[in-house]
Amino acid sequence: MLNRYRISISLLLLMVAVAFVPAISAQSMADSVLKPKPEIDSTHVYYYKGTLLNFKLDSLTHIDTSTLESHQYDWLYRSNHNYSTLSNIGQAHTNLTFSPMLQPGFLMSWPYYQRYLISNRQVRYYTLLKPYTELFYVMGPKKEQDFQVTFSRDLIKGLTFGMNFYLISSPGEYKRSFTNNNAGYLTLGYFTPKKRYHVNINYLFNKMQLQENGGISDDTYFTENKESDRAVIPVNLTNAENTIKESGIFVEQFFNLSKPHAKSDTSNRLDLGSISYAFQYKKDSYLFTDRDPLAPLYDTLHPPTDSTQTYDSTAVKFIKNSIGWTTLGYGKNIDQKPFYLYANLNHNNITRLLPGDSITTVWNQVNVSGGIGINIKKSFYLKGSGYLYFSGYNAGDFGLKGTINQYLGNKHRNIGELNLSINLISKTPWWFYQHFSSNHFKWNNNFSKEAYLILHGDYRYKNIQAGVDFTTIGNYTYLNDKLIPSQAENAGTVLKIYLSGNATIKKFGIDTRLTYQATSMPSIIRVPAFNGSMNLYFKSPVFKHAATLQTGVQLRYFTAYHADAYMPEIRAFYIQNDVLIGNYLWADVYVTLRVKRARLFIKMRNVTGYFEGYNYWLAPHYPDRDAGFYFGISWRFHD
């Protein structure tokens, strides 16, 4: 029944797409002489992420209702990003653009899954006038399914409930490449009637179940297309699996110290700002199992401790408390604040667990963080922020960042914006590099602190941004080609030049992100010299402006390089010197239609796979998926 339903939907959409072709031809002539009518939508939905401080800093984002990126359903490639990943959606990945781990504090979670995991910093709190619901569904080949539901509404005046849920389920084309990822969160936000007190609460969870095949065992099966049925191609691991679970609760409260101003009070009264308290509890667990620990993928340099099975389990609990103060009180717009401060005192209790909840390590960390902002005539903004850890695993870590934003005019009327920043960071290497133990891998290191000096500059005009990053790195830590953590002996640099944005000429447009990179440590930092993603599209109203149609081609490319290889047991990428990947142009052809609040797309993925040869590798020994049709729908409701 389910298969018949999918076939019926696919045929219906294909017929609809065919029906559009003559309509577009006739309509495009009329559209060339008719002015598009402005869309009328009285609903406005905004959100801010993570913390109430972002709300006070006016970090509000409007929900995306355009057709521009509707076809970019995979979280890795949204907004034209580009990643090296494995042979199925929802698996481990690493950015093709140099992106070191700069997050402060103790990091237990593996960064190679972050695009598919929700953190507290990404939780959205909605501000809205009407109840808001959005449903999103994608159906692809091999029973791939992607589903998302977003819901938010005011339960009573001042009390807002929200929910986000995500699901990715895909068996994959290759043996043992199944993914089943679930993530989501619930939120409650409450304002007192006069906005003096505000509290946010969220509960979030992530669960990833990933079969691991270690890549195909003989690359010629793919490069020479020896076997068109990908499911029978031999793979390196036949009994391995990774399971990642994360869950937690977060509560944050703000209280304005000054009493609310009466509406008739126009005097310049002193605002004492607000104080805050935040509490977070979170538990993360990671499990790798393999019933064949003697598989050839595990090099003889790493003989197993247990030759009968691999069962690597670890977990960590976080309890975080934070108190803070900021000069930001009742101001409705950050432009009304020519000067502001914020500061926080934080305590983190971190407990590392082994199977059976037997405690192995406990850290207590105390750190301070804060920032300052100066804004002059809505055209010049100076911002500074920093943090310092006093104790625990990250004792002595610090970060300082300064940013200048200069509008060429003012914030609301200008010919562009110049942004300059400097970021200085000293941090303890990722815990994984220092201490790790599994069936095949074990080490204890005492590496020196890593140091980063990042100079950034960019120019932005309307939807276009061009910029440069120059990063100087000391004591860079990485996994070498023997799968052993190492630290670079000498300092190095990475230069990144990029261009991104969306430009339109009448009904045609280009939405792109292009990046050039060069490093003084090419044997350690492995990134392609150039990588880019480009959406070339045609967009036009149809059916007398009752709908909007967008059709185009999404291109992705990166130059050939020795990409890092992936080891499933340690859930990490490491340096390899044998395999080059890249120098292949991916092309997806799509048609998107927006009718009122519904957006639909049909996409043919990787069409160049039909005629460009079998060279579409995403990581060493991990080919990309073959060409295939995808159908997606997104529908918003405001009632």
Which pair of tokens denotes residue 12?
């219906």
Which pair of tokens denotes residue 343?
């500061």
Which residue segments constitute the domains of the chain, with CATH numbers given?
A: 36-260+271-637 (2.40.170.20)
For tokens 């993925």, the residue is 605
In angstroms, the Cα distances linking 232 to 176, 212, 623 are 10, 15, 14
Residue 21's pLDDT is: 34
Residue 76's pLDDT is: 94
Q: For 540-574, what is each residue's pLDDT tens digit?
A: 999 988 999 999 999 999 999 999 999 999 999 99
In the chain, what is the straight-line distance between the N-terminal and C-terminal CA atoms, in Å? 32
Q: For 485-531, what is each residue's pLDDT tens digit?
A: 999 999 999 999 999 999 999 999 999 999 999 999 999 999 999 99
Which H, E and C letters describe 215-267, residue by residue?
A: CECCCHHHHCCCCCCHHHCCECCCCEEEEEEEEEEEEEEEEECCCCCCCCCCC
pTM: 0.88
Largest CA distance in the chain: 80
Mean pLDDT by 10 residues, the chain (639 residues): 39 35 34 38 78 83 89 94 96 96 88 94 91 95 95 93 97 96 96 92 97 96 93 96 97 92 58 92 96 90 90 94 90 73 95 73 92 90 96 95 93 91 97 92 95 98 96 97 94 97 95 98 97 97 93 97 96 96 97 95 94 93 96 92
In angstroms, the Cα distances linking 188 to 195, 321, 393 are 16, 19, 33
> How deeply is 65 buried, as exposed, middle or buried, from its count of CB atoms within 10 A (0-12, 13-18, 19+)?
middle
For tokens 């009904």, the residue is 507
Query: Which among 240, 211, 218 has a CA at the least distance from the CA of 579?
Result: 218
Is 169:179 a contact under the CB 8 Å cutoff?
yes
Which pair of tokens denotes residue 339?
């000067």
> How deeply is 492 buried, as exposed, middle or buried, from its count of CB atoms within 10 A (0-12, 13-18, 19+)?
middle
Half-sphere exposure of 284 (CA within 13 A, CB side): 16
